[in-house]
Amino acid sequence: MSTTEILFYFLSALAVFSAIMVLVSKSPVHSVLWLIVVFFTISGHYVLLNAQFLAIVNLIVYAGAIMVLFLFVIMLMNLNTQTEPQKHIWMKLAGVISGGCFLMVLISLVRQAGDMQGKTALMKTGNIGLIGNLGKALFQDYVVPFEITSVLFLSAMVGAVVIGKK
């Protein structure tokens, strides 16, 4: 077994464990922190697949911005057990039924995955997904749309500052 396979299995096990901890955690803050671990492991999978740009964007956008926003919202809501509504038996039953349907879909997908035996993903080969190639494409083939987009973003930031000052 190669080091890439060992790293893949470790990241996969950590991602599944962290996702389960998101669901099992009693505290919403702990759930968000476990979800950040899930995003880090997904970024590790992207790096293994030679997609460094997706890995960095995943970390910046999801683990950086969106999860911090979730943490602020959860902390500002000031959740405690007295203000939470009680769950009725119908809600629990609906959750069990939808979870069972999702489990059936997953089982059918695993059964259909038998056709994928012997096929592997390309790792550490090729040049698709590299940041250098993306930069070359943006600054050679799509330089005019890229610059127009940057001016659009600049005007949106100036507009947000003007609106925010009033």
pLDDT of residue 44: 93
Contacts 24+ apart (CB under 8 A), 59-67: 63/36, 63/39, 67/32, 67/35, 67/36, 67/39
pLDDT of residue 109: 84
Q: How many angstroms separate the CA atoms of 117 and 164, rounded?
A: 56
Helices (H), 49-142: 52-57, 67-77, 89-112, 131-136
Q: How many angstroms separate the CA atoms of 42 and 36, rounded?
A: 10
Residues of the chain under the 70 pLDDT cut: 78-87, 115-129, 166
How many domains does the chain contain in total? 2
Domain that holds residue 15: 3-129
Q: Which two tokens stand for residue 164?
A: 């925010």
CATH at residue 30: 1.20.120.1200
Q: How many angstroms separate the CA atoms of 47 and 88, rounded?
A: 44
Residues 151 and 120 in one domain: no
Residues 111 and 143 in one domain: no
Residues 141 and 160 in one domain: yes
pLDDT of residue 43: 93
pLDDT of residue 104: 93
Residues 35 and 90 in one domain: yes
Residues 111 and 152 in one domain: no
pLDDT of residue 111: 83
pLDDT of residue 78: 66
Looking at the chain, the number of H-run helices and the number of E-run strands are 7, 0
Is the separation of the CB atoms in 88 and 72 below 8 Å?
no
pLDDT of residue 119: 66
Residues 115 and 140 in one domain: no
Report the 10 Å Cβ neighbour count for 106: 10
Directed axis angle between helix 67-77 and helix 28-48, to 10°? 180
Residues 38 and 110 in one domain: yes
pLDDT of residue 40: 93
* Three-state SS at 120: coil
* Cα distances (Å, whole numbers) of residue 18 to 31, 61, 96, 97, 108: 9, 19, 21, 24, 24
Residues 50 and 70 in one domain: yes
Residues 124 and 135 in one domain: no
Residues 160 and 107 in one domain: no
